[in-house]
């Protein structure tokens, strides 16, 4: 339609189309817009010539995204991803909410200002909303949602602040990934407990001062990252409810007290258990040896952890890396643990000189602020 051509032409002029990486056929007065350049590998129009996919990834657009894009009412997908240098600027237009069939908005890596438009809560068909790394800021409106069909929502690496609104939890069955990492959020809404299909929750690098209680109810989670916040106090026992977890990071907070027994319930942990850079105390518990699928166990930089390496670590036959450096662990490394390590060759770090036997099966020995491979930096044993 003429309105769609107007929307495309306005986008071209607003974002300095003459200097795009590829502008083949754009603003042609004779060729249909289906023949104008797109970065998409898929067909961009339907059989009737209606534009479905507006994709211009890494195409050096520079300038504001004009509201006239909303004239292209047939769109299902908008994707404008930038990666340094030229990028979109200005604010996100509210008018994208007027495109009724939008299922995917991927606008990332730009230098935008302002916030996430509350009007986007009207995008009832959206399945993917990805606005990461755009320089967006401010608090999310209580009208930001519900995204009743969303599968992935990614707002990471912006400068959002305040409380995450409950409206974001609109898709109780479809939402599988919620990525809020790298912002300044301070709390999560209780409404997240209604997410029956959520598998991945990333909230690392925010400003949480306490453990978000709702997380203890999100029993379908497979990956949980709460690292690099400001969470203090003991690890809550409700973490043991999350028995489907395969990847858990609580690193870089201010957790204190012992490693609680509820961690031992997480027998499906596989990719990672990261409790590093906290203020944990007490002996390293033997029940960690029951996490037999675990590939990475990271306990370093907890100076209050004491005692010896548990003999039960000899059960961790899937282990790829172990960090116990910059802790208070002492004593001999159990023979069974070293026998296992000689067989599976995980990369292991320890304060070797603090152990009576010099931690012989640990490749990396640490002291002061650095670690070195005991075999020399070019030895293959230093790289697994």
How far apart (Å, rounded) are the C-alpha atoms in residues 44 and 118? 28
Residues 6 or more apart whose Cβ sits within 8 Å of residue 284: 259, 299, 305, 307, 309, 310, 324, 329
Q: What is the pLDDT of residue 171?
A: 65
Contact 159, 135 (CB under 8 A): yes
Which pTM was predicted?
0.96
Dihedral, CA atoms, 322, 324, 326, 329, nearest 10 degrees? -170
Dist. CA 291–CA 297, nearest whole Å: 10
Q: With 70 as the cut, is the pLDDT of residue 7 above it? A: yes
Residue range 182-227, pLDDT digits in tens: 999 999 999 999 999 999 999 999 999 999 999 999 999 999 999 9
Residues 299 and 53: their CA atoms lie apart, in Å, by 47
- Dist. CA 86–CA 266, nearest whole Å: 45
137-191 tens-digit pLDDT? 999 999 999 898 999 999 999 999 999 999 988 767 889 999 999 999 999 999 9
Label residue 81 exposed, middle or buried (CB < 10 Å: 0-12, 13-18, 19+): buried
Distance CA 283, CA 205 (A): 28
Token couple for 34: 């289906």
What is the structure's pLDDT at 384? 58
Mean pLDDT over each residue of the chain, to the nearest integer = 95
159 has which bridge partners? 137
- pLDDT tens digits along 286-318: 999 999 999 999 999 999 999 999 999 999 999
Would you say 212 and 187 are in contact if contact means Cβ atoms under 8 Å apart? yes
Distance between CA atoms of 376 and 35, rounded to whole angstroms? 58
Per-residue 3-state assignment (H helix, E strand, C coil) for 119-139: HHHHCCCCCEEECCCCCCEEE
Give the angle subtended at the CA of 154 by the CAs of 194 and 10, to the nearest 5°. Answer: 130
Using pLDDT thresholds of 50, 70 and 90, give the confidence band for residue 1.
confident
What is the Cα–Cα distance from 135 to 384, expressed in whole angstroms?
Answer: 39
Rounded-to-integer distance, Cα 217 and Cα 194, Å: 9
Q: Measuring CA to CA, which residue among 187, 235, 196 is closest to residue 217?
A: 196
Query: Which is nearest to 151 in space by CA: 168, 129, 174, 133?
Result: 174
* pLDDT tens track for 354-378: 999 999 999 999 988 889 999 887 8
**Secondary structure letter of residue 215 according to DSSP:** G
Question: Residue 295 pairs with which residues in a beta bridge?
Answer: none
CB 332, CB 325: distance < 8 Å: no
Regarding predicted confidence, which is higher, 343 or 383? 343
Write down the pLDDT at residue 375.
87
The reported pLDDT for the residue numbered 376 is 81
C-alpha to C-alpha distances, 156 to 10, 96, 129, nearest whole angstrom: 29, 20, 11
Element (H, E) at 10: helix 2-14
Cα of 217 vs its chain's centroid, Å: 20
pLDDT by residue (tens digit) across 78-125? 999 998 789 999 999 999 999 999 999 999 999 999 999 999 999 999
Question: In angstroms, rounded to a whole number, what is the distance separating the alpha carbons of residues 362 and 203?
Answer: 32
The Cα angle at residue 258 between residues 253 and 264, in degrees rounded to 5? 95
pLDDT at position 299 is 98
* Kind and range of the H or E run holding 340: helix 335-344
Strand ranges for 208-253 from DSSP E: 223-225, 232-233, 247-249
Distance of alpha carbon 165 from alpha carbon 106, whole angstroms: 21
Q: What is the pLDDT of residue 12?
A: 98
- In angstroms and rounded to an integer, the radius of gyration of the C-alpha atoms of the chain is 25
pLDDT at residue 83, as a whole number:
87
Contact indicator for 214, 237 with CB cutoff of 8 Å: no
């Amino acid at each position: 339609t003429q309105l769609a051509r107007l929307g495309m032409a306005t986008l071209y002029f607003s974002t300095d189309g003459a200097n795009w990486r590829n502008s083949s056929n754009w603003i042609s007065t004779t060729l249909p817009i289906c023949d104008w350049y797109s970065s998409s590998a898929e067909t961009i129009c339907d059989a009737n010539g209606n534009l479905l996919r507006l994709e211009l990834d890494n195409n050096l657009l520079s300038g504001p995204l004009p509201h006239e894009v909303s004239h292209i009412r047939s769109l299902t997908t908008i994707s404008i991803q930038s990666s340094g240098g030229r990028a979109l600027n200005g604010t996100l237009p509210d008018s994208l909410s007027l495109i009724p069939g939008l299922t995917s908005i991927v606008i990332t890596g730009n230098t935008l200002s302002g916030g996430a438009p509350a009007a986007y809560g009207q995008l009832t068909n959206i399945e993917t909303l990805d606005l990461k790394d755009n320089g967006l800021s401010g608090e999310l409106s209580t009208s930001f949602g519900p995204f009743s069909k969303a599968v992935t929502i990614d707002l990471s690496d912006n400068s959002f602040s305040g409380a995450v609104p409950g409206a974001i939890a609109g898709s109780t069955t479809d939402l599988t990934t919620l990525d809020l990492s790298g912002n300044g959020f301070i709390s999560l809404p209780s409404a997240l407990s209604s997410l029956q299909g959520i598998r991945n929750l990333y909230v690392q690098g925010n400003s949480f001062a306490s453990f978000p209680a709702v997380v203890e109810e999100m029993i379908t989670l497979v990956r949980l990252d709460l690292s690099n916040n400001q969470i203090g106090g003991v690890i809550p026992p409700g973490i043991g409810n999350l028995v489907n977890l395969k990847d858990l990071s609580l690193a870089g907070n201010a957790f204190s007290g012992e490693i609680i027994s509820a961690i031992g319930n997480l027998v499906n942990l596989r990719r990672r258990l990261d409790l590093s850079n906290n203020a944990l105390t007490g002996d390293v518990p033997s029940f960690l040896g029951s996490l037999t699928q675990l590939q990475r166990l990271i306990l370093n930089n907890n100076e209050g952890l004491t005692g010896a390496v548990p003999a039960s670590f000899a059960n961790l036959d899937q282990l790829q890396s172990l960090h116990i450096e910059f802790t208070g662990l002492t004593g001999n490394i159990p023979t069974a643990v070293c026998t296992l390590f000689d067989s599976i060759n995980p990369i292991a770090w320890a304060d070797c000189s603090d152990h009576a036997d010099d931690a012989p099966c640990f490749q990396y020995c640490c002291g002061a602020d650095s670690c070195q491979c005991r075999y020399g930096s070019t030895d293959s044993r230093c790289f697994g």
